[in-house]
Structure 1
Amino acid sequence: MVPLLTVEDLSMEFDGNTVLNNINFQLAEGEILGIIGRSGAGKTVLMHLIRGVDTPPTTGKIIYHISTCSKCGYVDLRSKEGSACAKCGGEMVAEDIDLWADENEQKKRSVMVRTAIMFQRTFALYGDDRVIENVLHALSDIKYPSEKAVNRAADLLDEVRLSHRMMHIARDLSGGEKQRVVLARQLAKDPFLLCADEPTGTLDPRIASIVHEMLHNSAVNNNMAMVVSSHFPEVIVDTCNRAMLLEEGEIKAIGEPSRIIDTFMENAHEDSGYKATELGERILTSRDIAKRYLSVDRGMIKAVDGVSFSVAEREIFGIIGTSGAGKTTLSKMIAGIIEPTAGDMNIRIGDECVDMTKPGIEQRGRAKKYIGLLHQEYDLYPHRSILDNLTDSIGLEFPKELAMRKAIITLKMAGFTEEKAKGILNRRPDQLSEGEKHRVALAQVLIKEPRIVILDEPTGTMDPITKIDVKHSIVTAREEIDETFIVVSHDMEFVRDICDRCILMRGGKIVKIGPTAEVLQELSDKERQIMANV
């Protein structure tokens, strides 16, 4: 393996306190080195010194083994020695650079351009800009050719599996999604080394594992070396080539990850294991929500009468009941179409809860754009192509090339294969089957990148084969992009097969909530007959 850097006798003191003591190791090109240790072991200080930020070490060296262009000074990997420079075509010449030597300040900056760092709590995003715009800013910073920038930004978002969030405002993302945007921005620099300092420390274990997978794949796919610290031992074992155990500023062990983790765990007294869960945190919480109407002939109508429930991320949640039970009214309040009369309803957007009972662009108005609603009688523009239905018709403000790419990505989320998605882009809706049209209609909702999708009677009078297509598209969207669904339906078989939990409504109230099988048992014979014949 070709070495990328060598750390020699590195020590660091702050105010007389030794933080790092005689650190020695090598990192190879493309190698993933995991660092584990208790808080205060020196992990962050070591990463900062490797990256070249903050203050120089008290003693020791960090030597980068690189190749430098003889004409333009571009820095690349040592393995590129003798090849043509990627920037100007000049010859790449081998060079060793002592990163912290005073005389190497200019060379240090050249190396830092090809390295990147991610922190635990600092997302460093343009909060009011869209996700793709954040990546475009990063490409602009390195003077990436503007005519190629949009495609490159889309490629990077593909790489971190965030194509389904590219049009979101950055501040409205969850913590895990923000960290993946940060990763995309760092990858835009085309680094040969990424230092990731507890990048998932504030995330729940399931989301943390996704981010670590992104980091691992990025390192492998880009021949990028990585130094990553994590408090999840399993992640070190699963993603790293080697691991290092730091204790009080010293390397206690370095080698095969599982062996290092076993050594660490011998003296660890806290449970660091975790299990991934199917569902995420609460995304919707309703407490005593109500909607009343005043009718001339019927007086006060309690369409929804004080209902309380919650929905988790990635959950497929059902709302069932006969006509007049309050299902549609409740779903419209969730969608922000109508305002509740009383009660509380909050929807989590990013890391913040938005109050759906309050009007305004910072409350209900903010959440509405992240809630998709697919009616039973969905509307596709009959005389326009599928591509136009998905892009121009909803005002997607990006070049045609990106619009086509986004359409294909979204159709795949809705259950189409990539080949099929490409094949239907120029067709009209009447040239598709009912199942295909339903999936296109779902894609028309998903392309707006909602947090929650409300499906109002999604099966209608569909035949069994088409219902299977619809189930497939819903499950695909959940698995591929962590989508959350609320299904309003009278179709008991469909609800049984697709919903994790559901509520049964009668007269505006919830009479049963829980696992779908249990709730369906609560149906009366009359309800079963009515719902079966709707």
Structure 2
Amino acid sequence: MATLVDIKDLTVTYDGDKVLDNVSLSIEEGEMIGIIGRSGSGKTVLLNVLRGLDESIPATGQIVYHGAACDWCGRVEPPGKAGGSCPKCGGPLSPISEDILNGADPVKKRNISRRVAIMIQRTFGIYGDDSVIENVMKALDDSGYGGDRIMRAADIIDQVKLSHRMMHIARDLSGGEKQRVVMARQLAREPMMLLADEPTGTLDPKTAQVVHQNLKKLSKELGITVLITSHFPGVIEEMATRALLLENGRIKMLGRPEDVIKAFTGGIEAVERKEVQAGGSVIKVEGLYKKYFSVDRGVINAVNGVSFDIREGEIFGIVGTSGAGKTSLTNILTGNLEPTSGMVEMKVGDDWINLCEPGYYARGRAKPYIGLLHQEYDLYPHRTVIENMTDSIGLEFPAELAQKKAIHTLQISGFDEKRSRDILGKYPGELSEGERHRVALAQVLIKEPHVIFLDEPTGTMDPITKKYVINSILSARQDIGETFVIVSHDMDFVRTICDRAAYVKGGKIVSMGKPEEVLPLIQEIMK
């Protein structure tokens, strides 16, 4: 196959720190390259530079795209199509080579960028007020698709296994379903290269497998070149034809996926969950229902007659496929969503507080003791890390105490002491996605809640950082008796850290018990 992209001595520097350091790589047409490395190693920056649209990235070096451009309409195809006819207008395709960092023709650069799609981790770039099919149809319009848009959109939605949500409003979908809408929108563009940054980090294993199979199929059938980043070694091994390991902005290793994974994971010690005697109930749920009404689907039971309790000091897991009702259940438990019926009570001091009842002495009294890190978390982009952790959430500390508290909390979230000090004055945009996620976790922990809800807490974390976070959660539970509720698709994480787990399906809890009892059931269903 012909070379699609030549990267030569690519360097990106922020405030004297080299995020990418003399990276050189040739990407062949139609191959699938897996990129793995710790948070902050430069994976996301590399993809954004390759996209070629962000002029603010301080990049030097060369990124030369080789392709075949139509002499009539300017459409760019992979280099192997040179000498053929344009699929859009029938014009002749002539070879081109453009360095998008140094003096590329603006029109050709724009035409190249139109043929490069990107999926950014945890960023749901969708039209929230539109239905799923309308979202995909708009993407087809943007790409200039000239056929039957409705049928083409329906086919793409079926490819990502979302036909049962085709008419749903996008904002009402679960996080995993939104991620599949994002993928459908990118596939609608029929790109010659797809840059996928942790595309399945927050999806359940079954849905992730569907996405992986679709990517591999499209890459093979349509010749789409794919660059995919992941913190999960199994994803890289399953999908990539080649893999590269980034470390501190440099390519440490490039080669067979199995060899690269071995180099990346070597020395990571497993963390064992210790049995801990939990206290009495801290949250009680009885007969909980949440019904939604849809014109096309009628009554939807997002939460369907759920009853259970969460005990003080335990780490409780909630697992299930995308759309099973986990998000709705979590939002009710945290006081952010009104149930249709049922009861949720939380123990505050010696009193039981009704979370379903509004008012200062009811839900208002319990809410300050509930921490929530949602998978669609956000940080204030124009505030520093320490400001995000203190000022922006109403915590007023003297400067010296604020710094001490922030450093301590950042360490609990997986940073070492040096990095904790280094990032206090940095803005979120100067951190990697994995680092931003850990800062968001620290933002929750610094408020010292009684019960902490973590929604997909490890979706963007590499195995080493995940180990630190596991140890931090276990330490917080052991040292101060903190209670955690973890909603996750990461089965290994749940198995390692949770005392009990509830398997949610169709809005109901169909199994509850120790992870080793519950997870085999869900994994069998997800095969």
Letter in 1 for 2:340: M
Alignment partner of 1:248 is 2:248: yes
State which drifts further: 214-223 or 253-262. 214-223
2:107, 2:306 → 1: CA distance?
65
1:185-264 map, 5 Å? 185-204=185-204, 207-264=207-264
The aligned counterpart of 1:296 is: none
- The answer on whether the counterparts of 1:10 and 1:57 sit within 8 Å (CA) in structure 2 is no
The aligned counterpart of 1:280 is: none
2:204, 2:39 → 1: CA distance?
19
Letter in 2 for 1:288: E
1:365-514 map, 5 Å? 484=505
- The answer on whether the counterparts of 1:20 and 1:248 sit within 8 Å (CA) in structure 2 is yes
**SS of residue matched to 2:40:** coil
1:39, 1:96 → 2: CA distance?
33
**SS of residue matched to 2:105:** helix
The aligned counterpart of 2:465 is: none
Q: 1:16 to 1:256 in 2, by over 3 A?
A: same
The aligned counterpart of 2:38 is: 38
Alignment partner of 1:308 is 2:292: no
Q: What whole-Å deviation, never above 9, does each CA across 1:291-324 have from its counterpart, x for those lacking one?
A: 9xxxxxxxxxxxxxx9834997469x9xxxxxxx
Identity of aligned residues (%): 44
Q: 1:219 to 1:270 in 2, by over 3 A?
A: farther
1:198, 1:240 → 2: CA distance?
14
TM-superposed deviation, 1:196: 0.9
The aligned counterpart of 2:171 is: 171
1:346, 1:97 → 2: CA distance?
51
The aligned counterpart of 1:76 is: 77
**SS of residue matched to 1:216:** helix
- The answer on whether the counterparts of 1:347 and 1:355 sit within 8 Å (CA) in structure 2 is no
**SS of residue matched to 2:148:** helix
- The answer on whether the counterparts of 2:10 and 2:24 sit within 8 Å (CA) in structure 1 is yes
TM-superposed deviation, 1:243: 0.3
Letter in 2 for 1:289: G
TM-superposed deviation, 1:205: 5.0
TM-superposed deviation, 1:208: 3.9
TM-superposed deviation, 1:270: 6.2
Letter in 1 for 2:183: L
TM-superposed deviation, 1:485: 5.1
Letter in 2 for 1:246: L
2:95, 2:123 → 1: CA distance?
35
1:307, 1:207 → 2: CA distance?
24
- The answer on whether the counterparts of 1:35 and 1:243 sit within 8 Å (CA) in structure 2 is yes
TM-superposed deviation, 1:34: 0.5
- The answer on whether the counterparts of 1:62 and 1:100 sit within 8 Å (CA) in structure 2 is yes
1:95, 1:179 → 2: CA distance?
34
Q: 1:347 to 1:122 in 2, by over 3 A?
A: closer
The aligned counterpart of 2:120 is: 119
Letter in 2 for 1:174: S
- The answer on whether the counterparts of 2:59 and 2:101 sit within 8 Å (CA) in structure 1 is no
Higher RCO (CA < 8 A, seq sep 6+) = 2
Q: 1:176 to 1:211 in 2, by over 3 A?
A: farther
Letter in 2 for 1:106: V
Letter in 2 for 1:357: S
TM-superposed deviation, 1:288: 2.9
TM-superposed deviation, 1:88: 1.8
Letter in 2 for 1:53: L
Q: What whole-Å deviation, never above 9, does each CA across 1:196-245 have from its counterpart, x for those lacking one?
A: 11223344555444433433333233221111110100010011111000
The aligned counterpart of 2:361 is: none
The aligned counterpart of 2:265 is: 265
Q: What whole-Å deviation, never above 9, does each CA across 1:372-411 have from its counterpart, x for those lacking one?
A: xxxxxxxxxxxxxxxxxxxxxxxxxxxxxxxxxxxxxxxx
Letter in 1 for 2:52: G
TM-superposed deviation, 1:137: 1.2
Q: What whole-Å deviation, never above 9, does each CA across 1:146-169 have from its counterpart, x for those lacking one?
A: x61001101111211111211111
Report the TM-score when normalising by structure 1.
0.53
Q: 1:271 to 1:88 in 2, by over 3 A?
A: farther
Q: What whole-Å deviation, never above 9, does each CA across 1:18-61 have from its counterpart, x for those lacking one?
A: 11111111111111100000011111111111111323554211
**Aligned residues: CA RMSD:** 3.6
Q: Which runs of 5+ in 2 are unaligned?
A: 273-282, 290-304, 310-317, 343-355, 357-502, 519-527
Q: 1:207 to 1:144 in 2, by over 3 A?
A: closer
Alignment partner of 1:355 is 2:351: no
Letter in 1 for 2:83: G
TM-superposed deviation, 1:144: 2.1
2:161, 2:186 → 1: CA distance?
15
Count of residues in correspondence between the two structures? 316
Q: 1:57 to 1:289 in 2, by over 3 A?
A: closer
Q: What whole-Å deviation, never above 9, does each CA across 1:165-205 have from its counterpart, x for those lacking one?
A: 11111112121211111111011111000111122334455
The aligned counterpart of 1:60 is: 61
2:86, 2:51 → 1: CA distance?
23
- The answer on whether the counterparts of 2:29 and 2:225 sit within 8 Å (CA) in structure 1 is yes
1:157, 1:286 → 2: CA distance?
39
- The answer on whether the counterparts of 1:176 and 1:208 sit within 8 Å (CA) in structure 2 is no
**SS of residue matched to 1:355:** coil
The aligned counterpart of 1:14 is: 14
Q: 1:161 to 1:47 in 2, by over 3 A?
A: same
Q: Which runs of 5+ in 1 are unaligned?
A: 273-284, 292-305, 318-333, 335-344, 364-481, 488-498, 503-513, 516-534
The aligned counterpart of 1:288 is: 286
Letter in 2 for 1:95: I
2:288, 2:177 → 1: CA distance?
33
1:307, 1:62 → 2: CA distance?
54
- The answer on whether the counterparts of 2:22 and 2:250 sit within 8 Å (CA) in structure 1 is yes
Letter in 1 for 2:75: Y
2:23, 2:288 → 1: CA distance?
64
Q: 1:156 to 1:307 in 2, by over 3 A?
A: closer
Letter in 2 for 1:135: V
- The answer on whether the counterparts of 1:286 and 1:346 sit within 8 Å (CA) in structure 2 is no
Larger radius of gyration: 1
1:71, 1:165 → 2: CA distance?
40
**SS of residue matched to 1:102:** coil
**SS of residue matched to 1:5:** strand
TM-superposed deviation, 1:348: 7.1
Q: What whole-Å deviation, never above 9, does each CA across 1:248-276 have from its counterpart, x for those lacking one?
A: 0110100110110001111445679xxxx
Q: 1:211 to 1:290 in 2, by over 3 A?
A: closer
Q: 1:356 to 1:191 in 2, by over 3 A?
A: same
TM-superposed deviation, 1:7: 0.6
